[in-house]
Structure 1
């Protein structure tokens, strides 16, 4: 049974209690799922343009395939026609051409489509999403999903988890040699999400312990001592790489500087882990709530309305001055998810105000009512832009933001959705 604390804390006047708002969230989620269905390719899924067509010369992308599999597996559990077939297609691709049959693990795409040595590296970021997809597909009873989950989780544990450090290693050469001299907050953040899913789906509490250790390192130690401004880039000796990718400020995964959208994404993950620990262990560190509040406040202060226009920008430098003023859609999605989570956890009206304000921004600026989907990025003046993200490849962030407000903080996403309509 899901924890009930959230529903008790939410004020009667909250949008989260409004039947009209909840129907609106469902409608927006359905629109997103419908728009992204055309991302299916012969193998896996590929990126879409702004009109919802596969981009020219589209190739299967393993991260997109994992995210689509996760999304459509859960949509299928909710009774959305076509979704289970799409999730089945994704599981088959992850067990087929996108998997390295010789050395194990997953490529970024089909080997023939990968032109550089960097593209062929085995990345923790990708493997975390394969594990997440497999766990959601297992809950949805997709054929082959449980086998995929067992294989992916075992490999993820043996290759990427560092028991000594309490974090996930970043990347390796295709044959698992040549570990990268890097420790990244981004891939470890998404690993926390996947850890909580695996813990619930496989009834394996060790994964919640690992999620807590990751959070302790990156947030309770490193970010807390930096006023909750999350530093992203470290070497294997945990030296901060303050100039990392200074020449690549618009990199889509490892941009120079700090990413306020990640501050708020960590914020709601901490509350979800707190709820999971309370539900399963009966206790959780009190600092999880304290740190969650600190992260949200730091993220909104560093990133929101920095140019006199609403919205959360992409990156700031080490002094928290804006670097990339453009506003990715996922930053807004994670901010509203964090506001909703803090509202459920505390009942404080400030988070209701933020939740409404962020949705107002998205509704008036990012939801594309003509072509479908969400605009993936706006510039500083809130005009459509493609500096960091081209087209409309991402379903995962926007779609989850339409469901997360409807869910309790625990259990993990797929199981909570299964229970939502039961």
Structure 2
């Protein structure tokens, strides 16, 4: 299909790419879940079967089956069975982080990040009427609320040992961000408005509190009593889940999530949509081409200097999705223009001929593996394609177009 700067993500292309991404994800199917793939689509046995990859692949497969049917339904059913079977800890409850290809436990810690995605997958699969998903949703919701949700602070704990007897002395914005996403999906699947209120509680602290206090640069790392750790992992800046500095891609993701929180609430607070705009504008100003080359820099220090200059497909796709959502919310054509610009970048640097997408490039657009090697999953790419196509996703609603919040215009 020809590339058009006027519409780099036309309907036929987004459908074609969505089909291709789901087919690519199907290569990762293993007996006990879904595996991490290398650049050639081969399962990496050394990575085992990880709960977050299995859950995200289940989520995407359920979305695709809900919209288009086909083989994705079988992938979603397999994911639900795996999450109710081999990855489920029958002795202590919750989900193991990783099992080997033979199903034996490898990493038995219970991480909030993984559990958020199990709840997301269960919610999406239940909304798509995947067999077994309703039971998985009941289990995931009870586990998250009983083990991870701290009603006193209105935020989620980070991780525990296998028996949930010892918690980690750390709190993370990343896992809590994905809890927001999962809570919104759970609310859509169950009709229970309490889930949206929990999502708002997390957003209120991390965005209206912490991000706003730091110029809409969100601190990611905290002590167990929620004090900021600005130098966390300074000596390990390329950690794939807890990198040093601030992560503009998460600001872009949060910008979209705030609009979903707003849409899920009957009486949303007025700060949500303006904060979404502030998050996006700050992230774009600081991270787009800070070294002179197009693309979003992965991480920045607290003076907005690049720390990890590599470009990630997930950051670019979250920028596209956020721009689509803000255009829907505000009616501002500048966001549609930004989406086109960023889709053109995605197509030039991340989409390859096999209809699967590179995860990382260096600042010059060459394939890189500084943070992410191989192609573990298609979750971010598929989400962005859904926004470009206007395909509904449970929990991802956005209020209709109107005046820009507080009279703002796109910058």
Q: TM-score, normalised by structure 2?
A: 0.91
Distance of 2:270 and 2:43 partners within structure 1: 47
Aligned to 1:25: 14
Is the alpha carbon distance of 1:26 and 1:201 closer, same or farther for their aligned partners in structure 2, counting shifts above 3 Å? same
Aligned to 1:387: 370
Deviation, 1:273, is: 1.2
Aligned to 2:116: 128
Find the partner of 1:100 among 67, 89, 93.
Answer: 89
Superposed CA offset, 1:25-50 (max 9, x none): 22221121122211000110001111
Aligned to 1:50: 39
Distance of 1:275 and 1:64 partners within structure 2: 28
Distance of 1:79 and 1:293 partners within structure 2: 32
Is the alpha carbon distance of 1:169 and 1:376 closer, same or farther for their aligned partners in structure 2, counting shifts above 3 Å? same
Superposed CA offset, 1:148-176 (max 9, x none): 10011011011111111111111111111
Q: How do residues 15-414 of structure 1 correspond to structure 2 at under 5 angstroms?
A: 21-57=10-46, 59-110=48-99, 119-277=107-265, 281=266, 283-369=267-353, 371-407=354-390, 412-413=395-396
Distance of 1:57 and 1:345 partners within structure 2: 44
Paired residues, number: 393
Partner SS, residue 78 of structure 1: helix
Distance of 1:135 and 1:126 partners within structure 2: 14
Instruction: Answer yes or no: is the 8 Å Cα contact 2:9–2:343 preserved in 1.
Output: no
Task: Could you tell me which runs of 5 or more consecutive residues in structure 2 were left unpaired when the two chains were aligned.
Answer: 398-411
Distance of 1:78 and 1:228 partners within structure 2: 35
Distance of 1:263 and 1:404 partners within structure 2: 18
Partner SS, residue 33 of structure 2: coil
Superposed CA offset, 1:262-286 (max 9, x none): 0110000001111222xxx2x2111
Instruction: Answer yes or no: is the 8 Å Cα contact 2:63–2:393 preserved in 1.
Output: no
Partner SS, residue 30 of structure 2: coil
Q: TM-score, normalised by structure 1?
A: 0.89
Aligned to 2:405: none
Superposed CA offset, 1:201-222 (max 9, x none): 1111000000000000000011
Distance of 1:319 and 1:83 partners within structure 2: 45
Superposed CA offset, 1:2-54 (max 9, x none): xxxxxxxxxxxx97xx7981222222211211222110001100011111121
Instruction: Answer yes or no: is the 8 Å Cα contact 1:275–1:409 preserved in 2.
Output: no
Instruction: Answer yes or no: is the 8 Å Cα contact 1:275–1:410 preserved in 2.
Output: no
Instruction: Answer yes or no: is the 8 Å Cα contact 1:51–1:372 preserved in 2.
Output: no
Instruction: Answer yes or no: is the 8 Å Cα contact 1:181–1:235 preserved in 2.
Output: yes
Task: Could you tell me which runs of 5 or more consecutive residues in structure 1 were left unpaired when the two chains were aligned.
Answer: 1-13, 415-422
Distance of 2:149 and 2:182 partners within structure 1: 13
Is the alpha carbon distance of 1:20 and 1:310 closer, same or farther for their aligned partners in structure 2, counting shifts above 3 Å? closer
Moved more, 70-79 or 148-157: 70-79
Deviation, 1:78, is: 2.2
Distance of 1:263 and 1:405 partners within structure 2: 19
Distance of 1:389 and 1:153 partners within structure 2: 30
Distance of 1:20 and 1:324 partners within structure 2: 28
Higher RCO (Cα < 8 Å, 6 or more apart): 1
Partner SS, residue 96 of structure 2: coil
Distance of 2:269 and 2:277 partners within structure 1: 14
Distance of 2:213 and 2:37 partners within structure 1: 41
Moved more, 301-310 or 354-363: 301-310
Instruction: Answer yes or no: is the 8 Å Cα contact 2:38–2:374 preserved in 1.
Output: yes
Partner SS, residue 307 of structure 2: strand
Instruction: Answer yes or no: is the 8 Å Cα contact 2:9–2:388 preserved in 1.
Output: no
Distance of 1:172 and 1:110 partners within structure 2: 17
Deviation, 1:98, is: 0.6
Instruction: Answer yes or no: is the 8 Å Cα contact 1:340–1:355 preserved in 2.
Output: yes
Superposed CA offset, 1:340-361 (max 9, x none): 1111111112212210110010
Aligned to 1:6: none
Distance of 1:381 and 1:185 partners within structure 2: 30
Deviation, 1:120, is: 2.5
